Amino acid sequence: MRTLKMYATISINLIKCNNKLKKNALKFHNRGNSLRAYQSIDDTVISFMEKIIKISGARVNATGFDTLDKNEAYLFVCNHQSNFDIPLLYTYSPIKMAFVAKQEMRKIPIMGKLMELRGHIFMNRNNSKEAVKSIQKGIEVLKSGASLAVFPEGSRSKGEAMGSFKPGALRLAIKSGVKVVPVVISGSYNLMEANGGRVKPADVEIKCLDPLNPKDYKDAVKLTEELEILIKNELQQNQSIKE
């Protein structure tokens, strides 16, 4: 029941709000005010993201976000356990962000265009030239004062185990100079992935760690290594507590 209700909520809200969201966002983009365009979408999308979390029955404990400066742009770097990670991070972070997503998401009717207007970056990992263009676009988004989020594993782990981090997306921080915020999500896979695609209630921990300054690292590889260690250690600590 929760699964059907979730997909119905997503579809109905996208269809219902599509024209209004596009019209408002395009108005501000045409005026050269991308930040206001992003905000115009956030103002509507946040309520619909909150509905999705509520439908899932997720019992969320989010900590650490109160240390962030709401007037600063960040690159959020997070482990990736579930499809719910995007609505969870977006909902519980006081600073809203766009995401670096797979190229295929741009082709989704209605959603793809809205994601583009919101500043989401579509990454084609099979085409190095296109990937470079995406990184450059992401740098421009960050320098404009908007925040982004990346999942450097590249795909969902669908469990507690974390995959290796890839350094490509961390060039966004090195080249833009914005601070990097490590975020640890634990237990989100129990909302859907652990249930064969069915949505069920579960406990989820979201922990925002202290920001890192990319200027303190030689390159994206070193920064990536540090982030992987930090996030993996936090996940292991969470597992130890549960056991």
Model pLDDT for residues 91-148, shown as the tens digit of each residue: 999 999 999 998 888 888 889 999 999 999 998 877 778 888 899 999 999 999 999 9
> Which pLDDT belongs to residue 89?
97
Note the pLDDT tens digit of each residue in 221-243.
999 999 999 999 999 887 766 65
> Which pLDDT belongs to residue 148?
97
> Which pLDDT belongs to residue 103?
86
Tell me the average pLDDT across 7-31: 91
> Which pLDDT belongs to residue 127?
78
75 CB contacts (<8 Å, ≥6 apart)?
142, 147, 148, 149, 150, 170, 172, 173, 176, 178, 179, 180, 181
28 CB contacts (<8 Å, ≥6 apart)?
34, 36, 37, 40
Tell me the average pLDDT across 60-85: 96
> Which pLDDT belongs to residue 33?
95
- As beta bridge partners, residue 205 has 61, 186
CA distances for 147 relative to 154, 159, 189, angstroms: 19, 27, 25
- As beta bridge partners, residue 121 has 100
Tell me the average pLDDT across 20-40: 94
Tell me the average pLDDT across 205-225: 95
Q: Which DSSP category does 192 fall into?
A: T
> Which pLDDT belongs to residue 140?
93
Distance, C-alpha 140 to centroid of its chain = 17
Cα–Cα distance measured from residue 238 to residue 221, given in angstroms and rounded to the nearest whole number:
26
Tell me the average pLDDT across 37-65: 95
> Which pLDDT belongs to residue 243?
57
124 CB contacts (<8 Å, ≥6 apart)?
103, 130, 131, 134
